[in-house]
Amino acid sequence: MDVIDSWTGRSACALQAALRATNEDFANRLGVALRTVAGWHQRPDTVPRAEIQQALDTVYERAPTSVLRRFSILARPAPPTVPAQALRVAIAVVVRGPDVLLVCRRGDDSLSWQFPAGMIKPGASPAVVAVEETHAETGVRCTVRMSLGSRVHPTTGVLAEYQLCEYLMGEAENRDPIENADVAWVPIASLPKFIPEQSIFPPILEALA
């Protein structure tokens, strides 16, 4: 049996749950007002008075083993919550003179031309991911010139971080044939023929103008 140094509203409610008792039943067992038990649910950090502490001790000490086991589980501190991370991708707009680098993605039932992109893990830099994913997908080495900003992608709903990149070296080739059907340098002037202009992030069009 665990030793309870001091009861709180939270641990008292855990004992109530272990007993599978209603608020009224639990109040009757302890000899307290119904509003006292209700108050513990509303304010779990409340520390009951000394005489109620003793009543809780008594109920706890008289509880059968099955109740004590349930209480031991229910009274455990909740694990710390980890803030949810929004799904983020780094998108590389790689320019080589009059051309921009595109990959042809395989969809469920179709193909679509897009800029190279990769998932950003928590703590990673969008610029680093853009450079690394471009090389992994296409074999092209590039460097980030500037950030073009971010937006929630209108098709996928993920947070997209756009990076304007400058070509350094390497021949464009499809290094990820599972995800991509092709890789190509496309004339910037012909970009809307590959990606509908209304779906292109406006700062990209401004940077390529």
Q: How confident is the model over 17-48, as pLDDT tens digits?
A: 999 999 999 999 999 999 999 999 999 999 99
The answer to whether residue 80 is domain-embedded is: no
Residue 137: domain span: 88-208
User: Domain check: are 53 and 135 in the same one?
Assistant: no
Give the percent of the chain with pLDDT over 90.
Answer: 82
Q: Are residue 103 and residue 25 in the same domain, yes or no?
A: no
**Residue (of 65, 64, 103, 79) closest to 195 by Cα position:** 103
The pTM assigned to this predicted structure is: 0.61
Residue type, 30: L
Same domain, 67 and 101: no
Question: Are residue 115 and residue 36 in the same domain, yes or no?
Answer: no
* b/e map 91-122, b = 16+ CB within 10 Å: bbbbbbeebbbbbbbbeeeeebbebbbbebee
- Residue 3 falls within a domain, yes or no? no
* Beta-sheet pairing, 117-119 with 111-114: unpaired
- Tell me, yes or no, whether 27 lies in a domain: yes
Please determine, for residue 80, whether its predicted confidence score (pLDDT) is greater than 70.
Answer: no
Q: Pick the last residue of a domain from 47, 74, 101.
A: 74
